[in-house]
Structures are given as C-alpha cells and as structure tokens.
Amino acid sequence: MASKCFLAANRTLAKKLPFSPRGLSGAPWTTEGVIKSPLKTVEVPNCTVHEYIWRNLERWSDRTMVVCGSTGRGYTYSQGYQLSSAFAANLRSKLGVRDGDAVAVMLPNVPDYPLVALGILGAGAVITSINPIYTAHEVQRQMLLSAAKIIVTLPETVDIVKNALNMAKLKLPIIVVKTNEPTPEGTIVFNELTEINVDLSCLQEVRRSAKDVCFLPYSSGTTGVPKGVELTNENLVANMEQINDPVIRTHNDTTASHQDSVMAVLPFFHIYGAEVIMFHKLSQGIKLVTLAKFHPEVFLDALETYRANLLFAAPPIILMMASHPASSSKKLRHLEVIINGAAPLAAADADRFIQKAERKMDFRQGYGLTETSPVVTMTPKGLDNYSCVGLPLPNTDLKVVDQNLKNVGPNEKGELLVRGPQVMKGYKENEKANKEAFTDDGWFRTGDLAVADDQGIVTIADRLKELIKVKGFQVPPAELEAVLRDHPSVADAAVIGIPHKTHGEAPKAFIVLKKGHGAQPGDIRGFVKERVAEYKRISDVQFVDSLPKSATGKILRRELKEKYT
C-alpha cells in the first residue's frame, strides 16, 4: 500500500510513479540501507481491538454486519453488538473466563464467527483460532500449547474435539454454534449464551490494555512445528490503522447511502481472514458475506447476489475465477477491488483474471505474515505491476540483508527484515524461537528472500524458510516428518514442497525404510492422511537409501529439491 514514493526529493523517480505525490514524504532508502515507508506516519489509538471495532457503532448500527452467502442468515451491527456482549458476559459469569484466558475457536466462516470472536475479546480473553478441518491429533496439540479453557465449534466436529480433549487428558466446556445437526450430548449451545437479558455488569471487571495479547494463532514461523504467535491489541489496531491510509486503502466510507460488501471466503482462523477481512472491515461498518465451505458456483453466485465489491483472495481463488466455466464478466461485475495475498500470484494469472472480467479493476497484491498481524507491504491503486507487493505500510521500516545480516542495496536480493508496530510480541513461551526470529537490534526476520528497487518497491523472490505453501496455507516439513517417523516401517523421512498446478505446492516425502521392512507409497500416504488436515497430506512418496544432512544432522531439503525436482 505504498507505491507513491518520496518524490519531491527526486523528480526523476517521481515520473516513474503513476500517482500524485501528496501524502508521501522523503526518499525510501536511508544512508544506513533502511527502506522507510513514504506514507504519512499514523497515530495508533491506545485501545483494544474490541474498543476499536465498536467505537463508531452508532454510524451503522442498522446496517448488515454479516450474512451467510448461501443461506442469507445474518446479523445487523446492532444485533452483533448485543449478542456478542451477552456472550462475553456469560463467558465470565457462567463459565469463569478471566482476563488473559485463552478460548479456542474451531469454526468455518459462519455468520456467528465474528460474534464469537468479539464476545471472547469483550470478556477480556484471548482468541486462539483452530482450523476446523484439523484432526484430533492437531487439535489436542494446540489446546495444550495455548492452555485454552474453552473451545467453540460446530456439532459436526464435536467428536474430533472430544477425542482431542481425551488425548490431552482435558475436561473443558465445548460450546457449539447451532446448525441443522442435533446438539451433541455434553455441549453448551452458543445461542443460549447470547440471550440479551443477561446481566452485563460483570464486563466492567475486564481490564485489558493495548499492550495485552488478544489473538494467539499458531504459525510455523520460519521453521519447525507450529508456535503460538502472540499478537497484542496494539499490533492489530496498528495494522488496521496502517491499511486505512488514503493512498493504499481498499474500502469506501460507510454512509447513509453506501455500504461496501466484502466476500469473506478466506478463513477467519487465518490471520489474513481474521485481521484484514473480519476485524478491519467490521471497524469500518462493511458487510461481511461469509461462506462456510468453498464451492465455485456458490461463491460466484454470492458475488453477484450480494454485490460484493471487495475481494481479498489467495491465488487458487483467482485462478478459479479466471478459468471456471461458471465464471463470467456478469458474475464479477460488482467487483471493484481485488487484493491477492497469502502466496504470490504470477502477473500472467492476474492478466487472465482481468480478461475474464472484461474490464479494468483495481487489482493489487500485499505481503505479510502471521507474525506481522499480517500486512507489511501493499501496492497502491494505480501501480499496474502485478509481480511486486508494493511498499512498506506507514510506520513500517524494511531492510534487505545478506546471509551475514549485512544490509544490501537497491535491486539486490536478500532476506527481508521488518520493524513496525504490527510485529508480534513474540512466540508464546518459546525463547529459542524468538532468538531465531529477531535480530539483536530488534528486527523481525521474515525468512523470505526479496528485492527492493530504488523506489523501495518490494518483490518477493523466494523463501529462505522451507515451509510449503498449499493453497496459501503453511505446511511445515518438520511436522509431517515427525508424523512419518511414527510409521513402523520408517527409519527416517524428509518432506519438501513440489510445484502443483492448482495448489501452488504439494508435500512430497522421501522415505528411508527400516532394514527388513517394506512399504508401499499408498501405505505411507494413508498413514499420514489419518493424522493431518487435508491440505497437509502427502501427494507423492519416494523411497531413498539415505537423506542428505549437515554435520549437525539437519536435513538438507534444498539438496533434495535440487536432486529430485
């Protein structure tokens, strides 16, 4: 969201930029090799996310807050405030939630998700989000790591949750958001905790500040198995203020005669969906159109029916819209702004989508990570360079460094480092990971290779980290390798990402079998399938005699890629 540069200082460079210099200041590169945001510094409100979202409620109280794109069920902003406040009060008075307690949310994008999330924050608790397609093994791990006191889910996934709690030897309340399925025994119905006649006085006891953690998603960081990312109220509020900058903002003001409609198809359990789509758009009085499951025809119909003019997407969605038989310029006619994130999109794919729409649109890309709340850079309106991810947001500094952490200059490739108010507090109770993630002078290491040109426009070149990106989701090789090594015939295993036509990447396993043991690829794939979410499943298995390793025993995955892909 920042591609208007530094201008007055350099009129020659300003000529390259397709927009007005107003709102920008200074050259992006300092003499020390730091890339400064050219956008005006924003003042971050000293408040919680809960306060920030509801601060202008009276301006759009009767507007639609959220609606299901397939059923039409939904809530107004006034209803959302009342129901989430009642839920918050019941969490404290009936279920004993206290400031700083973690509450797990294992839901797809249903209209109740924002109510659940805002209720948890209103109660002074911390949201830890769980992918609703996780297996019991994955759920129990996060419940233990996060120390969650309660979990909110659907009736359809209660058995998985119960199995997870049994594995973890936990007895915790399970709240279910009612669907057409019968209410499972031993659970609490969410609707019963949102009765408006509840006494709200207990909410006066909540004491949460901008510096307190409010959101605890789990990310693999730059390496390894998932770690709890501690995001504070200040982190999230700062990022919302940053993307409000007039040069890079994607939304219109909500007025008596206009309300933007955003297609909320990216999952709310992921930081992109939670912060950029849910929290931020609610703070602006925008209508959220949710889909619990992604079906191309339903998605395309909802785009048209609810006149969605904003879409935040990942590459698979854009590729689908460019090629699916049901997609047409008629279905896409209300879209005004498309932002791609989660994984890079080739410029040629962006062009194909725009050709399908049969008109020019405001198509941009952004870059960020769970650890940065998430947005770091974004392209502004008018910069038709679909291969770049733009310039740093307000209040954000970047550096590009070599392997010795020495600064490199314009047009040189290196690891991208970030400093700004949106950078996480740290990984929960993980000193080792924090030391690896931050430099001694406080810069966050993204693990991504990038190039910044002389205007400070950033292009992501590659990943230093070895995470596999499947449909925009992170798949840590170490997690799958640990699962594979539990197989009785496997002596050792390594996993890398290989190119996939529609998913971006897919996990491939290299297996060293134990002496005297035999196994078929299907056996290995089936073993993993039972233990991980669908997007983490192994797509290919190759048996090898040995794995390349460093002197310290670290698997050299890059060598595997060079040799076998």
pLDDT per residue over 49-66, tens digit each? 999 999 999 999 999 999
In this predicted structure, what is the pLDDT of residue 502? 86
504 part of a folded domain? yes
480 part of a folded domain? yes
In this predicted structure, what is the pLDDT of residue 9? 28
Mean pLDDT of 495-501: 91
DSSP one-letter code for 28: S
pLDDT tens digits for 154-164? 999 999 999 99
pLDDT higher than threshold 50 for residue 21: no
Contact 542/509 with Cβ under 8 angstroms? yes
Q: Please state, in angstroms and rounded to a whole number, the distance separating the CA atoms of residues 77 and 282.
A: 9
In this predicted structure, what is the pLDDT of residue 471? 87
Q: Please state, in angstroms and rounded to a whole number, the distance separating the CA atoms of residues 127 and 338.
A: 28
In this predicted structure, what is the pLDDT of residue 344? 74
pLDDT higher than threshold 60 for residue 80: yes
pLDDT tens digits for 317-328? 998 999 999 999
pLDDT higher than threshold 70 for residue 231: yes
pLDDT tens digits for 261-302? 999 999 999 999 999 999 999 999 999 999 999 999 999 999
Number of domains, the chain? 1
Q: Please state, in angstroms and rounded to a whole number, the distance separating the CA atoms of residues 149 and 412.
A: 48
In this predicted structure, what is the pLDDT of residue 291? 97
549 part of a folded domain? yes
pLDDT higher than threshold 60 for residue 18: no
In this predicted structure, what is the pLDDT of residue 322? 92
Mean pLDDT of 218-240: 87
Q: Quickly count: other Cβ atoms within 10 Å of residue 554's Cβ.
A: 10
pTM: 0.87
Confidence of residue 542 (pLDDT cuts 50, 70, 90): very high
In this predicted structure, what is the pLDDT of residue 173? 98
In this predicted structure, what is the pLDDT of residue 552? 55
State the residue range of the domain holding 490: 468-564
CATH number at residue 554: 3.30.300.30
264 part of a folded domain? no
Confidence of residue 142 (pLDDT cuts 50, 70, 90): very high
Mean pLDDT of 376-401: 92
Q: Please state, in angstroms and rounded to a whole number, the distance separating the CA atoms of residues 278 and 413.
A: 34
- CA Rg, the chain, in Å? 23
Contact 308/332 with Cβ under 8 angstroms? no
For residue 10, give Cα distances in angstroms to 4, 7, 13, 265, 550: 12, 5, 6, 42, 48
Mean pLDDT of 526-554: 89
Confidence of residue 473 (pLDDT cuts 50, 70, 90): confident
Least-confidence region, from 13-17, 139-143, 228-232, 392-396 = 13-17
Query: Cα 466 to the chain's mean position, in Å?
Result: 18
327 part of a folded domain? no
510 part of a folded domain? yes
pLDDT tens digits for 234-244? 999 999 999 99
Confidence of residue 24 (pLDDT cuts 50, 70, 90): low
Residue (of 208, 258, 259, 253) closest to 234 by Cα position:
208
346 part of a folded domain? no
In this predicted structure, what is the pLDDT of residue 226? 84
Residue (of 161, 178, 179) closest to 170 by Cα position:
161
